[in-house]
Amino acid sequence: MIAAYFVLLIPFAGIIFFAIADSKSDMGKINVYFNAVCLLATLWLAVNVFNHGTILSTNKAYIVDPFNVYLIVLTAFVGLTTSIFSAPYMAHENEIGKLTAGRLKLYYTMYQGFMLAMYLVLTTNNLGIMWVAMEGATLATVLLVSLYRTPESIEAAWKYFILCGVGIAQALFGTILLYYAAMQIGDGSNALLWSVLYENAQKLNPEILEIAFVFMLIGYGTKIGLVPLHNWLPDAHSEGPTPMSAVLSGLLLNDALYAVVRNKMLVDGTTHSNIAGYLMMGFGLLSFLVGALFLHRQKDIKRLFSYSSIEHMGMMTFAFGIGGSLATYAALLHMTVHSLTKSAIFVTVGHTAQIAGTQRIEKIRGLIRTQPQVGWGLLIGTLAIAGFPPFGVFTSEFLVLLATMHSYPWLAPLVLLGIGIAFAGLFRHIQPIVYGEKPEGQLPVKANLWPVIIHLGLVLWLGLSIPGFLAHWFSQATVLISGSTPL
Amino acid sequence: MNIGQTDFYTQAILSLAALVGLTSFLMLGQSRLLRLIFVFALQGFLLTLTTSLAAYSLNNPHLYISAALTLLLKVIFIPWMLRREVLQMNIHRDVQTLKNKTMVMLGGASLMVFSYYVLHPIVQTTTPAMLNALAVSLSVVLLGMLLMISHRQAVAHVVGFMSIENGLFFAAIVATKGMPMVVELGIAFDVLVAAVLFGIFFLHIRSSIDSLDVDLLNRLNEVDK
């Protein structure tokens, strides 16, 4: 359990360090160190869970089980690689005068603040604290979205703040209703602890829990970016600094989905009807299709990939909604490969925008001729996210399709159609960007592409063969969520 | 339900719920910003009263802390901050023209009915008084949203946002006798940070569009211009 405290304490120390640090010091590098140490702590935690199973801290405030531990490691990993990318990127933004040193300091402080909020969402056993941390993640990132202080970025941040704030308030109402239902069967002090609720799920009042789940799905769904609550997402992703888009897409959306799935586990234990599943399937499929269609009309490269995030989050929500062991396994795998691929893509997109000096798709051309590494990185990343074999996204999407055909065959054509539309939508924009003629005077920039290579390598590996311990882990998490073993 | 037969605490909670609901409607129809902020402070004060009453009758001392937090944040700090902002921007004399006020008020009334409808299944497991209190808090949440939709000033958005929090708090106190202390502290911390961030944002919005009218925040959309 000590490992879990370390995971929370390291980013906390990071916040304090950057808040008082001298803004002339090499903050980018120090940020990398903080995230690296945190990744080590999460690996330590993972080994503990691997050997001893679910860990519940003595005061029951924290719980680490197979479901959240892999998300914790993923969060730390993406946090680390994004910080490696962000150090030279932000230094470049500082050099060209888009940012002052003071705002750079704010950026690093809030980066650690965001990481802390993410770890707290994942490790806490208290559903109330989960809400507080989720709101904390919004508050930490809202000033980062408006970091450039352009009118567009301020508008995006205001929209993000208001929509997510109001949305997540619904989740608090759901949590209060859940607490109310729990108060009727037991004492108040433990009644918001997930582990206690899960044991007593049978006794909770199903009617109240159904209403509570609707509120929670809408609340956390705003953060997942479910249509029609997604409006903030493309704006926040396109106007904030690119490393922020990478962690928002790769981590925040996953963790919001995690919160929904945790609550779904309670509701399923109580109601024995699939009401929660149907709601998630409906919202998920709608987001998937709308996200795929909107890919076609994007003009801004970061907006393009944020709609791709909406589409993929929709698919995961849909898969968790289907329930069964196969669909759950697929959704867990998809969460992993999507955050790895999407953060890699945002890294290359960041460099692309710096090379071209703009985010407008029609003005970015000839990437491979200007800087082959970035061009190929973007192309391979796009292939991976569009679900091409042999990448991991293909495996997980194929499993989702398989589960759909198994449980709801009449929905399978819609899923296939969505995948096709999304593929066309991505490629009609990316193909001229990477191939096309190079405009006059376009020069390469200093880029660190190791994060991209590592991420895409992992996604490729997961597509070819899932290593034994990871497969074991996914199976354990699947058993926890769906109650039966996959395959 | 016969009001006369219920105990003093239930009666007081019911009247306070009615008053909190009333303040939400007052905010909805308000076209002057300073008065809007005053009504918001009033709602915060009613919430403080409810919390202290619950702390006293249920003998639950930790609720006194949350009452004090509500008093400091929602009655003093946030209204003070918003008032200062409005006076500085010199917009306190502007009368906002609310488009179709009647429709907004009717919409508010139907939201209240809708809240009762949504929460009706709960009545089987609880007292009618509790249903009333919960339904009023849900409608305060929904009316806060309607306030944000119908008013075009950033200040009004903040008031709507915070009044949503008020509704949630009311639900937590009345239905569950307050959340666990650590959660309540966390929520208060979030509200405080949010209030400070709103203050920072006013500064940014003012310097970028030279106004606090959110209709001017319209650069980002999917439609080509």
Given an 8 Å threshold on Cβ–Cβ distance, is A161 in contact with B197?
yes
* Closest partner CB to B141 (pick from A143, A173, A189): A173
Test the A interface: residue of B174, B183, B192 with most A CBs within 10 Å: B183
Whole-prediction pTM value? Answer: 0.94
Is the pLDDT at B125 greater than 50? The verdict is yes
Tens digit of each residue's pLDDT (9 = 90 or more) over A307-361 = 999 999 999 999 999 988 999 999 999 999 999 999 999 999 999 998 888 889 9
Test the A interface: residue of B219, B221, B223, B225 with most A CBs within 10 Å: B219
> What is the average pLDDT across A26-44?
93
Q: Read out DSSP for A357-400?
A: T--BGGG---HHHH-HHHHHHHHHHHHHHTT-TTSHHHHHHHHH
> What is the average pLDDT across A365-382?
92
Is the pLDDT at B225 greater than 50? The verdict is no
* Closest partner CB to B148 (pick from A154, A166, A177): A166
Q: Kindly tell me the burial class for residue A51, based on how many C-beta atoms sit within 10 Å of its own C-beta (0-12, 13-18, 19 or more).
A: exposed
Considering only CB atoms, which chain B residues are within 8 Å of A132?
Answer: 183, 186-187, 189-190
Considering only CB atoms, which chain B residues are within 8 Å of A208?
Answer: 121-122, 125
> Rounded to the nearest 5°, which phi and psi values hold at A438?
-80, 130
Q: Kindly tell me the burial class for residue A432, based on how many C-beta atoms sit within 10 Å of its own C-beta (0-12, 13-18, 19 or more).
A: middle
Test the B interface: residue of A172, A207, A299, A303 with most B CBs within 10 Å: A172
Tens digit of each residue's pLDDT (9 = 90 or more) over B157-192 = 999 999 999 999 999 888 888 788 888 888 888 888
Considering only CB atoms, which chain A residues are within 8 Å of B171?
Answer: 173, 176
Given an 8 Å threshold on Cβ–Cβ distance, is B177 in contact with A169?
no
* Closest partner CB to B118 (pick from A135, A189, A211): A211
On whether the CB atoms of residues B83 and B3 are closer than 8 A, the answer is no
Given an 8 Å threshold on Cβ–Cβ distance, is A176 in contact with B172?
yes
Residue B197: CB atoms within 10 A of its CB come to 17
* Closest partner CB to B220 (pick from A135, A172, A235): A235
A23: CB partners within 8 A, 6+ apart: A101, A102, A104, A105
Write down the pLDDT at residue B96.
67
Nearest chain A residue to B134, by CA:
A177
CA distance readout (Å), A141 to A248, A304, A380, B141: 9, 21, 29, 24
Q: Residue A56 forms beta bridges with which residues?
A: A63
Is the pLDDT at B224 greater than 70? The verdict is no
Nearest chain A residue to B158, by CA:
A162
d(CA A165, CA A177): 19
Which of A315-324, A430-439, B146-155 is most confident?
A315-324
Q: In this prediction, what percent of chain B has a pLDDT beyond 70?
A: 95
Residue B205: CB atoms within 10 A of its CB come to 23
Q: Report the complex ipTM.
A: 0.92
A306: CB partners within 8 A, 6+ apart: A233, A234, A237, A238, A245, A249
CA atoms within 13 A on the CB side of A337: 37
On whether the CB atoms of residues A355 and A445 are closer than 8 A, the answer is yes
Nearest alpha carbon to residue A4 among A34, A48, A59: A48
CA A136 to chain B, closest CA, distance in angstroms equals 7
* Helical pair A206-224 and A275-294, crossing angle rounded to 10 deg: 20
Test the B interface: residue of A166, A175, A215, A230 with most B CBs within 10 Å: A166
Considering only CB atoms, which chain A residues are within 8 Å of B200?
Answer: 143
On whether the CB atoms of residues A66 and A49 are closer than 8 A, the answer is yes
Contacts 24+ apart (CB under 8 A), B48-56: B48/B74, B48/B75, B49/B16, B50/B13, B50/B16, B50/B20, B50/B170, B50/B173, B50/B174, B51/B169, B51/B173, B51/B178, B53/B9, B53/B12, B53/B13, B53/B16, B54/B9, B54/B13, B54/B173, B54/B174, B54/B177, B54/B178
> What is the average pLDDT across A120-126?
94
CA B78 to chain A, closest CA, distance in angstroms equals 16
Q: Kindly tell me the burial class for residue A152, based on how many C-beta atoms sit within 10 Å of its own C-beta (0-12, 13-18, 19 or more).
A: middle
**Angle (CA) A387 A134 A18, round 5°:** 100
* Closest partner CB to B138 (pick from A173, A238, A294): A173
Given an 8 Å threshold on Cβ–Cβ distance, is B217 in contact with A165?
no
